[in-house]
Amino acid sequence: MNLEEFKHKTQIRVRTFEVDSQGIVHNINYLKYFEIGRVEYRRDMGYEILPTGIFNDGLKVVVVRNEIDYKSFAFLDNLLNIYTKISWIKNSSFCFEQVITYDPDNRIICSGKGILVNINVNSEPEKLSKKFIEEIKSFEQNLNILK
């Protein structure tokens, strides 16, 4: 896995309530870490979260698929890097690819993908805006637009 393909990175520190009885990060927390990476990705593009939980550009998305491949363990107080990119966009959906590594040696802890769908006020899929697509294309540079 080439981490240089990821243009976005954020860091978190493992907290006491995220480890299990064996002293390692409980597997469910990696979904939370991926969500932190996705939110920070959008924040770093200049968007803010409104009190409604939606970003101020009006994009309203839901996660329809998550997948994770676990490679190693993380422990209490470890500093973790969350690498995030959008790898493809379709009409109303797009895919975040993510990798979590241990800092400072960048040992891969896990990798995963999340597919999100833009929805309208009736909770039906809605076409992504051209503005969103162009911003992501400009940022990512190696983005696949799928039909």
Structural domain that includes position 136: 3-145
Please state, in angstroms and rounded to a whole number, the distance separating the CA atoms of residues 115 and 97: 9
Please state, in angstroms and rounded to a whole number, the distance separating the CA atoms of residues 80 and 78: 6
Average pLDDT across the chain, whole number: 94
The predicted-structure confidence for 97-125, as pLDDT tens digits, reads as follows 999 999 989 999 999 999 999 999 899 99
Please state, in angstroms and rounded to a whole number, the distance separating the CA atoms of residues 129 and 35: 22
Residue 31 sits in a domain whose CATH number is 3.10.129.10
Report the domain count for the chain. 1
Question: How many CA atoms, within 13 angstroms, populate the side-chain half-sphere of residue 32?
Answer: 12
Tokens of 111: 């990798």
Q: Which residues have a Cβ under 8 Å from the Cβ of 30 and sit 6 or more positions away?
A: 68, 70, 100, 109, 110, 112
The predicted-structure confidence for 46-98, as pLDDT tens digits, reads as follows 999 888 888 888 889 999 999 999 999 999 999 999 999 999 999 999 999 99
Please state, in angstroms and rounded to a whole number, the distance separating the CA atoms of residues 96 and 100: 13
Please state, in angstroms and rounded to a whole number, the distance separating the CA atoms of residues 81 and 17: 19
The model carries a pTM of 0.94
E strand residue ranges, the chain = 8-13, 61-70, 79-89, 93-103, 107-118, 144-145
pLDDT at 1: 76
Contacts 24+ apart (CB under 8 A), 135-138: 135/45, 136/86, 136/89, 136/94
